[in-house]
Amino acid sequence: MDAATTAGLSPAPTTHSRLLAWVAEVTALTTPARVVWCDGSDGEWQRLTGQLADAGTLVRLNPELKPNSFWARTDPSDVARVEERTFICSVDPDDAGPTNNWMAPEEMKQLLGELYRGCMAGRTMYVIPFCMGPLDAADPKFGVEITDSAYVAASMKIMTRMGTPVLDVMGADAEFVPALHSVGAPLAPGQADVMWPCNDTKYIAHFPDTREIWSYGSGYGGNSLLGKKCYSLRIASVMARDEGWLAEHMLILKLTSPQQKVHYVAAAFPSACGKTNLAMLEPTIGGWKVETLGDDIAWMRFGDDGRLYAVNPEYGFFGVAPGTDDSTNPNAMRTLAQGNSLFTNVALTDDGDVWWEGMGTPPAHLTDWHGNDWTPGSGAPSSHPNSRFCTPISQCPILAPEYDDPRGVPISAILFGGRRKTTVPLVAQSRDWIHGVFMGATLSSETTAAAVGQVGVVRRDPMAMLPFIGYHAGDYLAHWVDLGKDADPDKLPKIFQVNWFRRGDDGRFLWPGYGENSRVLKWVVERLEGTAGAVDTPVGLVPHPAAIDTEGLDLAYADLAAALHVDPTEWAVEVPQIAAWFNQFGEKLPGILWTELDSLKERLR
């Protein structure tokens, strides 16, 4: 079947023969009713969102409150990433390692090939050329997503550089990552569609050896917007291993001190632990300024000057909605106020705006994420804890102008953070690169609603990349170690560990977080510039409470001291857990990380 004729629209807008062949092959396999090549235009957005609104998948929000914006509700079973159904299909099972699900590539392709057969019947197949990172990069990273979800096509316009400009730069033979997605819900002739088509059977499959992505059964962001976690982390981490760079789950921010000194900071936190809030932070200390470059993913390469430069491959924010408001993240609220956004699984107000938990006093009536009437007495939250906003990065009022610079920005500091009630101090600086890699390798966090499964369980999450490393985690840690070996230590970013989430014995947060985290960033900068002191503790260099600027902050000294406290008995519990964590990587774990663990044990004695 010929894609262009099936479309009954314009002919395929490319002469890229491998792309045309792949589109023809997928068309023949999945038998869509029509094929549409996405051009990325505003007209196309209007068409897609209009059709989705007609179909009942989207509800148009009040244009006076949220112009050109829409509310979506998913099937209640399709609300988060499905890590159990996510596979790294390397040829050698050892390349997937103990932290990934593995299936042989031929076996997965056979299995999914059967599921894909006829799976787009009655639907439109969208072909979305996209580029992760600036199009004018020296080595632009292209992808093409084929999907039968108009919601995905519309979301990809926000999250990536996509459409005709990408095809133009791809020309006739550029390399690209083929990324196939289907919701797995074919329509028989005359069959009415449902609001959120998806399938109980789900597979999120990656083929790192051939750099392909096949996703089936889910329409939810992280499972279906394949440029994001699937490409920019799982596949890109493999590219990065092979090409000597890093693809990381990190925000990028620009920090300017009152003396007008600029530092760029990258920070890794697991999903739903506040990356978007930190990326858009409004400092509470005078004279400091934060600007945003990215809130989720950083690609980092060494520049000719020996420094590590970071680029945000994305073009939008896909942030957790609940907890976001004018006090916790005013810049996100200003970004959203401009409209042009999709909101998924939040609540709808009676005047056609969105609402979610954390926005202050709830209205007397809402439509909740299930589509039901909701009142403050309803008992259950109005919004799913992993409900999301999807909004263009260009609307961020504190966007750093260099966010679009293909050379990226030189990183001075890397923060590794997790959500831990106990043990881990508010901030600690590593002694050197290897100690910093050890901090990242042993990072742990309580699980959140961003992935299907139990919430609040502590798990190790190396560099906040546990669900996103596209190869053996031991090899990944060795890659981090190796990059430091060849680099000039003075030019390497300094590595810090942070924990905004430590609690007192009474369960209350010891540190206020949000904008107040600027006080921790200030100490980080003072460490970079050699002007702040630190206490040498068994786990790293920790500020004395007096070294944190608390001017204007209503915080008991005892709470700050407790937030910074390193308790050897708590850490003694951690040591065997780290050893068990390391043991599963066998020979692949760089020996130097065992040496780091031994030194930690020694210092704890």
Give 134's contacts (C-beta < 8 A, 6+ positions apart).
Answer: 140, 161, 311, 404, 405, 406
Report the distance separating Cα 128 and Cα 228, nearest Å.
14
On whether 296 is known to bind a ligand per the annotation, the reply is yes
Is 552 part of any known ligand binding site?
A: no
Comparison of 219 and 538: residue with beta carbon closer to ligand SAT: 219
DSSP code at position 191: P
- 533 φ/ψ angles, rounded to the nearest 5 degrees: -85, 170
Min dist. Cβ of residue 275 to ligand SAT (A): 8
Interface with ligand SAT by CB under 6 A: which range of 95-103, 220-228, 566-574, 591-599?
220-228
Q: Is 228 in the site for ligand SAT (CB under 6 A)?
A: yes
Does residue 175 contact residue 243 with C-beta atoms inside 8 Å?
A: no
Angle, CA of 14, 242 and 236, to the nearest 5°: 55
* Cβ atoms < 10 Å from Cβ of 69: 27
Residue nearer to ligand SAT on the CB measure, 415 or 548: 415
Longest distance between any two alpha carbons in the chain, whole Å: 74
Which x/- pattern, by CB under 5 A, does the window 274-303 give for Mn ion?
----------------------x-------
Contact between 271 and Mn ion (CB under 5 A)?
Answer: yes
Element (H, E) at 349: strand 347-349
301 is in an annotated binding site: no
> Per CB under 6 A, which of residues 569..588 are in contact with ligand SAT?
none
Distance separating alpha carbons of residues 240 and 248, to the nearest angstrom: 10
Residue from the set 16, 73, 229, 522 that interacts with ligand SAT by CB under 6 A: 229
Burial class (CB in 10 A: 0-12, 13-18, 19+), 491: middle
Write the DSSP symbol of residue 71: E
Q: Select the span of 109-117, 221-229, 428-436, 452-460 touching ligand SAT (CB under 6 A).
A: 221-229
Residue nearest to ligand SAT (CB): 222
Site string for ligand SAT, 286-325 (x = CB under 6 A): --------------------------------x-------
Instruction: Tell the smallest beta-carbon distance from residue 229 to Mn ion (Å).
Output: 7
Nearer to ligand SAT, 123 or 228 (CB): 228
Cβ closest to ligand SAT, residue 155 vs residue 367: 155
Asked if 206 is part of the footprint of ligand SAT (rule: CB under 6 A), the reply reads no
134-140's contacts with Cβ under 8 Å and 24+ in sequence apart are 134/161, 134/311, 134/404, 134/405, 134/406, 135/161, 135/165, 135/166, 135/169, 136/406, 137/311, 137/406, 138/406, 140/169, 140/174
Instruction: Report if residue 74 touches Mn ion, rule: CB under 5 A.
Output: no
Contact call for residues 267 and 251 (beta carbons, < 8 A): yes
What minimum distance in Å lies between the beta carbon of 228 and ligand SAT?
5
Which residue positions form the known binding site for Mn(2+)?
229, 249, 296
- Binding region for Mn ion (CB under 5 A): 271, 296
Which residue positions form the known binding site?
81, 220-222, 229, 249, 271-277, 296, 386-388, 419, 514-517
Which residue positions form the known binding site for substrate?
81, 220-222, 271, 386-388
- Binding region for ligand SAT (CB under 6 A): 81, 221-222, 228-229, 271, 318, 450
